[in-house]
């Protein structure tokens, strides 16, 4: 027997908003917080959508939360397309003042997000007060597919997905120590002298990217007597003058007490990549922020490459 065809009149389009949040977060409680409603409202709206469609969209698991069924997975693609189309429609029919408003969430690596992107965006929101920005400077991977962010700045280019991506910039890392540390420990005249020194570095098996494993790659056999998953923690530890640390130049520039050690011999160049979903890239507020970040990054190549300690801001 053929299934009854769902009538559009029986659908509450607003239920799709609840469906999208649960699909992305896998938790009704988290979705409720993001939507500023209570848990029971989310549960009721999901049940309403399932009833209207005559199918089960989620399977509930104690360990994995709300997991999409095959039907839910198919609906997700259509729901995201509807969401993107609505965003575009609102911009097309609204005046320019409305189009340059709204909310953007940006995910970044921890150090770059905290010490470069945040001060730069404090100037951006002054220039565009109708656009609000969330900055997520986190020491782990941020998912665009779950809409944890609208724009991501990462150490690696995404291998696949419906994304627009560009190389944002190169940046340099060097070995740093305080003058106090250098005065109290054996002299460092060449890389072989570093075997007598202690370092702070990443916890190798917890690093979210192999691009972070500088110490093992640059100085094999070097001893790290203190390790952390956070580059900011490493920066703070280096400030205490008790160990050496390989740090991004833009981060070390925040404290004039940190001096580059063997800068000609020990230098590492890495890249930042910026990407977002194809359907969001056309939104005016996304385009505006995207272009702003590219411009201020270009203006600060000296800081990022360790040639200057001064940060430049857009006019």
Closest listed residue to residue 42, CA positions, set 53, 58, 63: 58
Pairing of strands 198-201, 258-261: unpaired
Q: Do 133 and 192 belong to one domain? A: no
Strands (E), 93-219: 102-108, 131-137, 151-154, 163-178, 198-201
Strand partners, 169: 272
pTM (2 decimals)? 0.75
Same domain, 164 and 176: no
For 46, the token pair is 């999901």
Mean pLDDT of the residues in the chain: 87
**Domain around 163:** 103-169+272-304
Q: Which of 138, 142, 135, 145 is nearest to 156 (CA)?
A: 142
Q: Do residues 183 and 248 share a domain?
A: yes
Predicted confidence pLDDT, tens digits, the chain (315 residues): 344 455 566 788 889 989 988 988 888 898 999 889 999 999 999 999 999 899 999 998 888 789 899 999 889 878 877 877 776 677 666 655 555 778 898 999 999 999 999 999 999 999 999 998 999 988 777 777 677 888 999 999 988 788 999 999 999 999 999 999 999 999 999 998 998 898 999 887 777 777 777 777 777 777 788 989 899 999 999 999 999 999 999 999 999 999 999 999 999 999 999 999 888 888 888 999 999 999 999 999 999 999 999 999 987
In a domain? residue 161: yes
Same domain, yes or no, for 245 and 298?
A: no
Tell whether 69 and 217 lie within a shared domain. no
Alpha carbon distance 248, 268 (integer Å): 9
- First-to-last alpha carbon distance for the chain, in angstroms, is 68
**Structural Rg of the chain based on CA atoms:** 24
Contact yes or no for 291/168 (Cβ under 8 A): no
On whether both 184 and 246 belong to a single domain, the answer is: yes
Closest C-alpha to 252, from 210, 307, 312: 307
Q: Is 195 found in the same domain as 240? A: yes
Domain count of the fold of the chain:
3
Binning the chain into helix, strand and coil, the percentages to the nearest 5 are 45, 25, 30
- For the record, the structure tokens of 223 come out as 């001893």
Rounded distance, CA 227 to CA 26, Å?
A: 32
User: What is the tens place of the pLDDT at every residue in 159-182?
Assistant: 878 899 999 999 999 999 999 999
Rounded Cα distance, 184 and 256, in Å? 19
Question: 263 with 196, same domain?
Answer: yes
229-237 contact pairs (CB < 8 A, 24+): 229/139, 229/202, 229/203, 230/110, 230/139, 231/109, 231/110, 231/111, 231/139, 232/110, 232/111, 232/114, 234/200, 234/201, 234/202, 235/111, 237/200
Please report whether residue 198 resides in a domain: yes
- Residue 188 shares a structural domain with residue 133: no
The CATH number assigned to the domain holding 295 equals 3.40.190.10
Phi, psi of 143 (to 5 degrees): -90, 125
Handedness of CA 173, 143, 164, 83 (dihedral sign): negative
Q: What is the pLDDT of residue 2?
A: 43
Asked if residue 24 lies in contact with residue 80, where contact means CB atoms within 8 angstroms, the answer is no
Residue 31, domain member (yes or no): yes
Question: Based on the domain organization, do 224 and 291 belong to the same domain?
Answer: no
- 309 located within any domain: no
CATH number for the domain that contains residue 28 = 1.10.10.10
For residue 4, being part of any structural domain is answered with: no
d(CA 241, CA 184): 9
Chain-centroid distance of CA 24 in Å reads: 16
How open is the CA angle 78-84-88, to the nearest 5 degrees?
Answer: 140
Last residue of a domain, one of 62, 93, 124: 93
pLDDT at 1: 35
Q: Is the residue at 64 inside a domain? A: yes
Q: 253 with 176, same domain?
A: yes
- Residue 315 included in any domain: no
**Residue 3: inside a domain:** no
Whether 169 and 304 have beta carbons less than 8 Å apart is answered as yes
Regarding whether 253 and 181 lie in a shared domain, the answer is yes
**Cα separation, 249 vs 232, whole angstroms:** 13
Question: CATH no. for residue 174?
Answer: 3.40.190.290
């Amino acid at each position: 027997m053929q299934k009854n065809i769902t009538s559009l009149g029986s659908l509450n389009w607003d239920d799709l908003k609840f469906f999208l949040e649960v699909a992305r977060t896998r938790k009704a409680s988290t979705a409720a917080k993001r939507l500023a409603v209570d848990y029971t409202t989310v549960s009721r709206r999901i049940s309403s959508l399932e009833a209207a469609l005559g199918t089960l969209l989620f399977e509930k698991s104690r360990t994995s939360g709300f997991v999409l069924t095959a039907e839910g997975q198919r609906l997700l693609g259509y729901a995201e397309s509807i969401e993107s189309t609505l965003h575009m429609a609102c911009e097309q029919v609204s005046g320019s003042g409305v189009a340059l408003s709204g909310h953007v969430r940006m995910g970044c690596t921890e150090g770059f997000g905290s010490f470069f992107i945040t001060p730069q965006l404090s100037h951006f929101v002054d220039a565009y007060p109708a656009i609000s920005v969330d900055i997520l400077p986190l020491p782990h991977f941020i998912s665009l597919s779950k809409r944890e962010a609208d724009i991501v700045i990462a150490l690696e280019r995404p291998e696949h997905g419906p994304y627009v991506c560009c190389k944002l910039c190169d940046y340099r890392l060097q070995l740093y120590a305080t003058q106090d540390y250098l005065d109290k420990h054996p002299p460092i005249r060449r890389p072989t002298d570093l075997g007598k020194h202690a370092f702070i570095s990443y916890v190798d098996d917890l690093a979210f990217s192999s691009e972070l494993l500088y110490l093992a790659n640059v100085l094999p056999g070097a001893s790290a007597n203190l390790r952390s998953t956070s580059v900011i923690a490493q920066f703070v530890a280096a400030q205490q003058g008790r160990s050496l640390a390989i740090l991004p130049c833009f981060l070390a520039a925040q404290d004039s007490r940190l001096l580059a050690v063997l800068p000609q011999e020990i230098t590492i160049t890495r890249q930042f990549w910026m990407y977002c979903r194809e359907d969001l890239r056309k939104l005016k507020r996304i385009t505006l922020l995207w272009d702003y970040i590219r411009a201020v990054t270009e203006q600060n190549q000296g800081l990022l490459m360790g040639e200057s300690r001064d940060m430049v801001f857009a006019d």
